Chain A
Amino acid sequence: MLSLNNNLYLMKTIEVLRKLINMYYYLLLFVLIGIVIFISIMIQQGEVADLKIIEDYDVSNISTLKFLALISVPTTIYILFVRAVYLLKETLKDLSEGNYFSELIIKNFKMIGRLILICGVSYAVYKFLARLVMLGDIRLGIDFSLITPIVVGLFFMFLSEVFAKARLAEQENNLTI
């Protein structure tokens, strides 16, 4: 009875999490489409100066090529992040179906971790370099917005290893007669 209650609680938790991540994923897609449309309109109307890409730097003075290079990096990072959330969405779908130790889940957790890590580090590097090149300003210090993705990314990579060990234990358990 206790085990049944625990299973029900687990299923309920995973279902809530799955729905939340689903909503978050579609929201991220919606925002991505919105940003692309918004930037396109701003470029067409020549109101690029209103875009605050790097703090107060006026981007209307730079060439279109430089401007595109400037916005393509955060856009790529954003797309990578959306990909990570998509993988999480797929993983939670598998988990909610009761496939806890499948190869797909282990692979996805590892990839999610890597993507979040890449997103966090590349965004920090981008911010640092863009500020250095555009504003001629160097800022060094502990940036908590950098620590969070590193911690989350490493946690997902560790979770992948835990699931790989659990899969092995499950296989051994199934082969114990």
Chain B
Amino acid sequence: MLSKRNMKSKELAEIIGITTANMSILKSGKAKAVRFSTLEAICKALDCQPADILEYVED
């Protein structure tokens, strides 16, 4: 989604107001939970739906 929007992780982190460290946690899938406010900010910044950025992967 980031490459489609021609956006870097650092830029997205700045727009949604999280640190690059937290952005890295989100991208690596190490995050235990995502706040609705963060999800909303990401969707707003990337102009997409939650389903576009969330994917279920079986362990």
Contacts and interface: CB of A to CB of B under 8 A. Distances in A.
Contacts of A171: 32
Interface in B12-49: 18, 22, 25-26, 30-35, 38
Contacts of B35: 176-177
A143 interface: no
A175 interface: yes
Interface in A159-177: 171-172, 175-177
A171 B25 CA distance: 13
A23 to B, nearest CB: 42
Nearest to B18: A177
Contacts of B34: 176-177
A173 B38 CA distance: 14
Contacts of A172: 32-33
Interface of B: 18, 22, 25-26, 30-35, 38
Nearest to A176: B33
Nearest to A174: B32
Contacts of A175: 25, 30-33
A56 B34 CA distance: 70
Interface in A128-173: 171-172
A175 B25 CA distance: 8
10 contacts: A172-B33, A175-B25, A175-B30, A175-B31, A175-B32, A176-B34, A176-B35, A177-B18, A177-B35, A177-B38
Interface in A29-62: none
A169 to B, nearest CB: 10
A170 B34 CA distance: 15
Contacts of B30: 175
Contacts of B18: 177
Given A172-B33, A177-B26, 15 more contacts: A171-B32, A172-B32, A175-B25, A175-B31, A175-B33, A176-B31, A176-B32, A176-B33, A176-B35, A177-B18, A177-B22, A177-B25, A177-B31, A177-B33, A177-B35
Nearest to B30: A175
A166 B55 CA distance: 29
